[in-house]
Structure 1
Amino acid sequence: MHAIGLYMLFSLPMLWPIALAILGVAEGRCGWWMHEAGHYSVTGIRWLDIKIQELLYGLGDGMSASWWRSQHNKHHATPQKHHYDVDLETLPLVAFNKVIARRGKKSASVRRWVSWQIYLFGPVTCSLVALYWQLFLHVRHVVRTRRYTEGAAILCRWIAVGVICHNLHVSLWKGLGGVLFAQAFGAASIFINFALNHTHLPMLPKDQHAHFVEYAAVYTMDVTPSWFVTWFMGYLNFQVEHHLFPSMPQFRFAQLVPRVRQLFEENGFKYDSRPYIESLQATFKNLGDVATFMVTGD
């Protein structure tokens, strides 16, 4: 996808919006691949998968693999648990539930921003999160923890961006605009698809507990597979299976579905699998409900 996008930029410049969109989606694909490497399921060789993740995430997304692993492990340990799942700690940019939203009600600017989150989440908020990670949070982590491979990969990414812009003979501002335009597609493809599997589901209070299977059955869900959905979501539409077997190669999840469904039915759990559009509607309805709560308190 990178090759196609770059070819279009250099050979078919009038199609630059399509080219940048393709490059943005390619950036998102790097995110899916690094996710699998971060679970050590690309080769099954831990040190090699870590190096693959460092290169993919650094070159492809300009981010830190070690920071991601430390945070993502916490999410897998307690998905949707208040105070423990770091993926819920999203203020001031977005609030996925009313418990988190209450923290921001005292701030007029946070209330105003969150009240518009149903409209801002896809085109604006996702990009802001990515920029914050790229330009501050992940760079700080790399420097603090002396992650030299990650730092070199991130630096090479930005050098490559500069070389491409130079060879395209575009100004600094046009180059920056192009990077932001492409990144908007990459960030949205990652964060929106992530949100489908978790954010609109119940949240477990911090003083309550669930066992391993409950976390997968109640606090995650699948998005019904098709060839496109499975490709677009990088096999993470099989989120229930992923949380039960996080180190399993992700292309095997489809084979596991009948067994997991049977396990849930025999033990009184609902196997929650919904079509992509229905999942998308539930996700944005939840964003709207939380936005309304920020304004009205209901």
Structure 2
Amino acid sequence: MRLSIAVVVYAGGWTLFVWLGDSWLQLLVAVVMAVIFAQFGFVAHDLGHRQVFRTRRPSDIAGLLMGNLGIGLGWGWWTTKHNRHHANPNHEDHDPDVSPAVIVWSEDQVARSTGIPRFFAKYQAYWFFPLLTLEGWHLHVASFKSLLQPSAKRRWLELTLMITHFAAYFGVVFAVLPFGKALLFLIVHQGLFGVYLGCTFAPNHKGMPVLTKDDKLDYLRKQVLTSRNVRGGWFTDVALGQLNYQIEHHLFPNMPAPNLRKAQPIVERYCQEIGVDYLQTGLIESYGQALRHLHQVGAALR
């Protein structure tokens, strides 16, 4: 059902874009398409975890079509990176999501930082959301860079699908809109796409304990203590791609997303029984915790 709805809405969004033609209303379409692209990303995420199909081949085919062809994101590269994150969440040395490329996540990283990360670290809590406007472009560029490596799996297939995506994407946008409006559409669309993705993943781990080589935790504690759930009803589930059940997702990454809400009370109750902290908060408070952590990390530079 999610796959079908996503594909139909995706096709409908581009049909509306062509039908509207040269109109400032296209900026609203850019907002809608940013949401649709992010929803494609959520489904591609689930496909990467083998939640949808029983066997690898249909998962790979659907993932490549939705990721590389649909939204211009290297599905194979991102899945590999994301699996490394799942193996060691919030670990300074092993989780690529807390590498200090621009944002620094711990006081130890601040002490070792130089260049751009050190420049932003001082007031990085204020820079966080503005920087997310570049996240969509960053993912596209990183996808291409990964596929330029000779060791990349399915290198030519993934490159062909991504080149096809961007040829069609830029071709349609610049064919329908005059140059200035086309550029503005791209800025709004890709900027909000990055912000949406960032606002979805930020509540999950940012502001939670950052692990080092000195931390020796078992599987359950490593996954639970570094993750945060976000409370909410069906709207929150849809908006966050059901990743608001982050603790359950990390404990059971292959569990189909619709079942995470059923597993949540069982996991929470078990954690209470064995004395493991289980954090669940509202969406706004999750951002507050993440931003306060980022601001505290940069305190030494202020």
TM over 0.5: yes
Is it true that 1:47 corresponds to 2:57 in the alignment? Answer: yes
Aligned counterparts, 1:279-294, within 5 A = 279-293=286-300
Please state how far the C-alpha of 1:198 moved relative to its aligned partner: 0.4
What does 1:74-93 align with in structure 2 at a 5 Å threshold? 74-91=84-101, 93=102
Structure 2 counterpart of 1:33: 43
Letter of the aligned partner of 2:132 in structure 1? C
1:205 to 1:25, Cα distance in 2 relative to 1, 3 A: same
Q: Which of 232, 239, 255 in structure 1 is aligned with 2:239?
A: 232
- Paired residue for 1:189? 196
SS of 2:25's equivalent in the other structure is helix
**2:111 maps to which of 95, 99, 102:** 102
Asked whether the 8 Å contact 1:59–1:153 carries over to 2, the reply is yes
Question: Conserved in 1, the CA contact under 8 Å of 2:224 and 2:251?
Answer: no
Distance between the aligned counterparts of 2:67 and 2:58, measured in 1? 14
Work out the CA distance in 2 between the residues paired with 1:133 and 1:90: 16
Candidates 123, 132, 137, aligned match of 1:126: 132
Q: Name the counterpart of 1:165.
A: 173
Cα distance, 1:288–1:179 mapped onto 2, change above 3 Å:
same
Instruction: Pick from 139, 143, 149 the counterpart of residue 148 of structure 2.
Output: 143
Does the residue aligned with 1:90 lie in a helix, a strand or coil? coil
User: In structure 2, what residue type is equivalent to 1:272?
Assistant: L
Matches for 1:18-29 after TM superposition, within 5 Å: 18-29=28-39
| Paired residue type of 1:138 | S
Identity over the aligned pairs, expressed in percent?
Answer: 25
The answer to whether the aligner puts 1:70 opposite 2:80 as a matched pair is yes
In 1, the alpha carbon distance for the partners of 2:177 and 2:90 equals 47
CA separation of 1:169/1:270 partners in 2, compared to 1, >3 Å: closer, same or farther? Answer: closer
Return the alpha-carbon distance in structure 2 between the equivalents of residues 215 and 225 of structure 1: 24
What whole-Å deviation, never above 9, does each CA across 1:127-184 have from its counterpart, x for those lacking one? 334323313x32132232252332122112112113312431422x542332222011
Moved more, 137-146 or 278-287: 137-146
Classify 1:4/1:100 alpha carbon distance in 2 versus 1 (closer, same or farther; 3 Å). Answer: farther
**Matched letter for residue 143 of structure 1:** L
Partner Cα separation in structure 2 for residue 170 and residue 292 of structure 1? 46
2:256 to 232, 237, 249: 249
Q: 1:11 Cα deviation (Å)?
A: 4.1
Q: Is residue 2:286 matched to residue 1:276?
A: no
Query: Which residue type is aligned with residue 20 of structure 1?
Result: A
Structure 1 pair 169–254 and aligned structure 2 pair: CA distance change class (3 A): closer
SS at match of 2:184: helix
- TM-superposed CA distance for 1:48, in Å, is 1.2
Q: Say what the alpha-carbon RMSD is for the aligned residues.
A: 2.0
Q: CA deviation at 1:196?
A: 0.7
- Does the residue aligned with 1:119 lie in a helix, a strand or coil? helix
Structure 1, gaps ≥5 residues long: none
Cα contact 1:88–1:100 (8 A) shared by 2: no
How many residue pairs align between the two structures?
289
Deviation at 1:115, TM superposition (A): 2.6
Going from structure 1 to structure 2, the CA distance change for 1:143 and 1:188 (only over 3 Å counts) comes to same
1:179 is aligned to 186
Tell me how far apart the structure 2 counterparts of residues 140 and 112 of structure 1 sit (CA, whole Å): 25
Secondary structure in structure 2 of the residue aligned to 1:197: helix
User: Is this contact kept in 1: 2:100–2:117, CA < 8 A?
Assistant: no
Once residues 226 and 269 of structure 2 are traced to their aligned partners in structure 1, the CA distance between those partners, rounded to angstroms, is 18
User: After superposition, what is the alpha-carbon deviation per residue over 1:77-121, rounded to whole angstroms, capped at 9, x for unaligned?
Assistant: 111122011111032x212222222222x44x5433233422332
**Following TM superposition, by how much is the alpha carbon of 1:223 offset from its aligned partner in structure 2, in angstroms?**
0.6
Offset at 1:3?
A: 4.1
CA distance in 1, matches of 2:50, 2:212: 30
